[in-house]
Amino acid sequence: MAVGEANVDFYNVSGVRLAAISAGIISEALDVVLFEFVEGSSTAGIFTQSLFAAAPVILGKEHLERFTPRYFLVNSGNANAATGDLGMADALDCCKATSQLTGTRPEQTLPFSTGVIGERLPVEKITAVIAELTENLEEGNWLQAATGIMTTDTRPKIASRRFEVAGASVTITGIAKGAGMIQPNMATMLSYIATDAKCDPALLKELLMGAAEKSFNRITVDSDTSTNDSCMLTATGASGVDLSVDATRAIFLVELTSLMIELAQGVIRDAEGATKFVAVTVEAGPSNDVCLEMAYAIANSPLMKTAIFASDANWGRIVMAIGKAKVDIDIKKLDIYIGDVCLMSGGGKAPDYTEASGAKVMEDEEITITVRLNAGDCQQTVWTSDLSHEYVRINAEYRT
Amino acid sequence: MAVGEANVDFYNVSGVRLAAISAGIISEALDVVLFEFVEGSSTAGIFTQSLFAAAPVILGKEHLERFTPRYFLVNSGNANAATGDLGMADALDCCKATSQLTGTRPEQTLPFSTGVIGERLPVEKITAVIAELTENLEEGNWLQAATGIMTTDTRPKIASRRFEVAGASVTITGIAKGAGMIQPNMATMLSYIATDAKCDPALLKELLMGAAEKSFNRITVDSDTSTNDSCMLTATGASGVDLSVDATRAIFLVELTSLMIELAQGVIRDAEGATKFVAVTVEAGPSNDVCLEMAYAIANSPLMKTAIFASDANWGRIVMAIGKAKVDIDIKKLDIYIGDVCLMSGGGKAPDYTEASGAKVMEDEEITITVRLNAGDCQQTVWTSDLSHEYVRINAEYRT
């Protein structure tokens, strides 16, 4: 199941080559991906804040601090998380194998893993395919890479932008994976974005964090945060367009944010068992924190999500979810809308609301819930999916 | 579905009479309950902290502050929540009708409602049955009352204690309802407890809050908090045993807490779609707050709950859930057990752990998850259920 059509079009990014292959970690599907970045590229990353950050996350952060990455080695099927010191050694072995075959330092490879938590990484299966991966590197392999990082995803997620700035053409292309265990707390799952703009790593990280705050940090499938969340942005500089110029950077950030919102929404549209795409907006609030707390209270409520699944205009569930938000607001001032139908105002059911009007708007595949607090001018939007039978089936049978 | 056998035995409480009847609010099931307390009884209550506290909660709290309750009028099938000023008037009309038929003040009746949120209360159906309820009041009707307050509950929940103290016999009997929308934030759903001990209202509230912190405030089905949570404790004084005596009160509190834990666990055993009863204990922690934050992070994780439903020893899910707790701990010091099987120690899989040993203990209907932080001597336990297909079905079809 998934909501809406998925994009499959993209632009190559000059200076980035990719390859994907099956190492047979779980099945015959593509499960190991290699990214290569041209020398001189800058990379920024944001990572999970889980206490149990996986071995590749810990090692990758260390490598990123000390050297400029030339390769990302990504596997799906095994998260190499909660694997202790052995997991750290396994991740390092993968980097060393890449290093030997590419003539770079081991620290210039960043390792990434996603899949089952708590199992040893099958290092030999992965290192056995690296030589072939290096031979297959091509600029046009983004869609294969997007497929190779999938776990319970039903389709690859890719987004791309090409725009003119400072008299030159700039490209940004990115991929993401993730379908469950999604309430990123910094980044989400795995996402790799590259551009041919030129940018130093510190500024690149600032841009990445700014865009993540409006995209990956605004989605939730099930309130669960992964041990492996990583979101990477690499700038090859091949276009010659320099992001240290304020006006150029502003345009770039708009495009980057738009692309990352598309990827983040793509994760939600393909969420485990999703039959609906739900945008929850809390507006006219006294602060962004209040708006966000309430938006997440609604978006993470299992009862709200099952009502959405059932296309049931049981707006009491939304009221209940608002009620559990830990904020101080006057509920008599509050208006609630589903789509353009007002459900509630003045603390009770809206005068014009009818069960038929509510039922009609709940039938849509894309649903917007808007809560207007009438207590300020702040606004936040969070995107989520419904809670379906299929979510339970997928997660009950995940390892079987 | 429900886990284990339910208790149906109880002792009458001298000074308390009850009756239950069907007013046809949704079906022909018992749906209106009347409690009568002998003159001179004391009552304490704790209520939901939802921003959208229902009309009967708001009105009941006002009545309780100003007068000594003689009657509780409870209906299931309609929560009278998010009903604004009309809902307040409806709740008051029910109190007035009880007042007229019993010769007491309207403020001496506390109204309670549970069921669908956002619909007007069918006042006429309720007031039409009050006369018959008053005629049917009996000391022995506790089980009928427990049945009359049910919504998606599959069975009544009743617990009772009789013990000797200060040379006399004291009885406590209580009932509870609740199966979904359960993460009480003060009380849970509806629970009514009565004793023939003698106690002033202020002390009674202290006892009730102390026991609730160890029972109803330690359970979660789905992290959702009801608009109507209320937990009431009434002392008729008929036994003559006075709780102002320290030694007597201490014994009483132990019995009350035990009874309320039985009721709270009864709610979880009968949780919507429950096939497992799960106790999550976080121990050897630096503070109760840290232990509780982590216990709830585990207990509310949809991915942990679906793994439990599937009897899948996917302990990575527990690790993930621990990881999202917003606490500062050293994961290398931490031990994780399911039942008596150690899954993890030193930041990785426990040396002796095998998939077979994990699978065996996950087959049980009653599962204990213990996380030992080895960082102090505080401990907290939270009880929860699994997340099953049936939970989704019940809540998707709730209004159909």
Q: Is residue A10 part of a domain?
A: no
Strands A230-235 and B348-349, sheet pairing = unpaired
Touching check for B42 and chain A: CB below 8 Å? Answer: no
Candidates B157, B191, B156, B194; CA nearest to B11 is B194
Collapse the DSSP code of A276 into the 3-class scheme (helix H, G, I; strand E, B; otherwise coil) and give the result: coil
Q: What is the dihedral of CA A264, A267, A268, A271, to 10 degrees?
A: -160
pLDDT of amino acid A66: 94
Give the CATH number, domain containing residue A145. 3.60.70.12
Segment B34-46 mean pLDDT: 94
Give the model confidence (pLDDT) of B133-173 as tens digits.
Answer: 999 999 999 999 999 999 888 889 899 999 999 889 999 99
ipTM of the complex: 0.72
Touching check for A152 and chain B: CB below 8 Å? Answer: no
Q: What is the mean pLDDT of chain B?
A: 89
Residue A182: closest C-alpha in chain B: B303
Question: Regarding predicted confidence, which is higher, B2 or B45?
Answer: B45
Domain-terminating residue out of A269, A292, A325:
A269
CA distance B272 to chain A (A): 11
Greatest mean pLDDT range, A292-306, B104-118, B121-135, B261-275: B121-135
Euclidean distance between CA atoms B194 and B233, whole angstroms: 6
Contact A82 B347 (CB under 8 A): yes
pLDDT of amino acid A183: 61
- Asked whether A388 and A274 are in contact (CB, 8 A), the reply is yes
Q: What are the catalytic residues of B?
A: 188
Give the model confidence (pLDDT) of A234-272 as tens digits.
Answer: 999 999 999 999 999 999 999 999 998 998 888 888 887
Domains identified in chain A, total number = 2
Give the model confidence (pLDDT) of B78-115 as tens digits.
Answer: 999 888 899 999 999 999 999 999 999 999 999 999 98
Touching check for B52 and chain A: CB below 8 Å? Answer: yes
Do B242 and B306 lie in one domain? The reply is: no
This prediction has a pTM of 0.80
Segment A36-58 mean pLDDT: 90
Contact A389 B389 (CB under 8 A): yes
Kindly indicate the confidence band of residue A181, based on its pLDDT and cuts at 50, 70 and 90: low
Do A104 and A224 lie in one domain? The reply is: yes
Touching check for B82 and chain A: CB below 8 Å? Answer: yes
Do B185 and B315 lie in one domain? The reply is: no
Q: Is residue B6 part of a domain?
A: no
Kindly indicate the confidence band of residue B227, based on its pLDDT and cuts at 50, 70 and 90: confident
Lowest mean pLDDT among A166-175, A202-211, B227-236, B336-345: B227-236
Contact B316 A344 (CB under 8 A): no
Candidates B3, B2, B1, B6; CA nearest to B262 is B6
Cβ contacts of B391 on chain A, cutoff 8 Å: 302, 306, 392
Domain-terminating residue out of B269, B299, B327:
B269
Q: Is residue A339 part of a domain?
A: yes
Do A140 and A238 lie in one domain? The reply is: yes
Touching check for A185 and chain B: CB below 8 Å? Answer: yes
Q: Is residue B2 part of a domain?
A: no
Euclidean distance between CA atoms A190 and A188, whole angstroms: 6
Give the model confidence (pLDDT) of B4-24 as tens digits.
Answer: 888 889 999 999 999 999 999
Euclidean distance between CA atoms B95 and B111, whole angstroms: 7
Contact B395 A185 (CB under 8 A): no
Q: What are the catalytic residues of A?
A: 188
CA atoms within 13 A on the CB side of A61: 14
Candidates B283, B296, B44, B83; CA nearest to B184 is B296
Q: Is residue A303 part of a domain?
A: yes
Residues pairing with A171 in the sheet: A162
Cβ contacts of B83 on chain A, cutoff 8 Å: 348-349
Residue B181: closest C-alpha in chain A: A303
Q: Is residue B382 part of a domain?
A: yes
Q: Which of A48, A52, A355, A393 to mutate to test the interface with B (most CBs of B within 10 A)?
A: A52
pLDDT of amino acid A271: 81
Residue A53: closest C-alpha in chain B: B323
**A69-to-A88, A109, B299 alpha-carbon distances in Å:** 18, 6, 39
Do B81 and B157 lie in one domain? The reply is: yes
Do A64 and A95 lie in one domain? The reply is: yes
Do A341 and A303 lie in one domain? The reply is: yes
Do A247 and A308 lie in one domain? The reply is: no
Amino acid identity for residue A233 in this structure = L
Touching check for A66 and chain B: CB below 8 Å? Answer: no
Give the CATH number, domain containing residue B383. 3.10.20.340
Euclidean distance between CA atoms A62 and A164, whole angstroms: 35
Residue B81: closest C-alpha in chain A: A316
Do A263 and A283 lie in one domain? The reply is: no
Contact A314 B398 (CB under 8 A): yes
Counting residues of chain A whose pLDDT is more than 70, the rounded percentage is 95
Q: Which of A58, A300, A303, A354 to mutate to test the interface with B (most CBs of B within 10 A)?
A: A303
Do A107 and A241 lie in one domain? The reply is: yes
Euclidean distance between CA atoms A331 and A311, whole angstroms: 25
Question: Regarding predicted confidence, which is higher, A211 or B227?
Answer: A211
Of A50, A84, A224, Cβ closest to residue B303: A224
Domain-terminating residue out of B245, B269, B293:
B269
Collapse the DSSP code of B188 into the 3-class scheme (helix H, G, I; strand E, B; otherwise coil) and give the result: coil
Q: Is residue B9 part of a domain?
A: no
Contact A344 B180 (CB under 8 A): no
Taking 80 as the threshold, does the pLDDT of residue A114 lie above it? yes
Q: Is residue A3 part of a domain?
A: no
Counting residues of chain B whose pLDDT is more than 90, the rounded percentage is 56
pLDDT of amino acid B187: 36
Do B296 and B359 lie in one domain? The reply is: yes
Q: Which of B224, B293, B373 to mutate to test the interface with A (most CBs of A within 10 A)?
A: B224
CA distance B128 to chain A (A): 26
Euclidean distance between CA atoms B54 and B78, whole angstroms: 11
Segment A378-397 mean pLDDT: 84
User: Which residues, 6 or more positions from B238, have their beta carbon under 8 angstroms from its beta carbon?
Assistant: B13, B14, B15, B38, B196
Question: Regarding predicted confidence, which is higher, B117 or A139?
Answer: A139
CA distance B111 to chain A (A): 19
Do A161 and A292 lie in one domain? The reply is: no
Euclidean distance between CA atoms A141 and A149, whole angstroms: 13
Segment A322-332 mean pLDDT: 85
Which range marks the domain in which residue A375 is found?
277-396
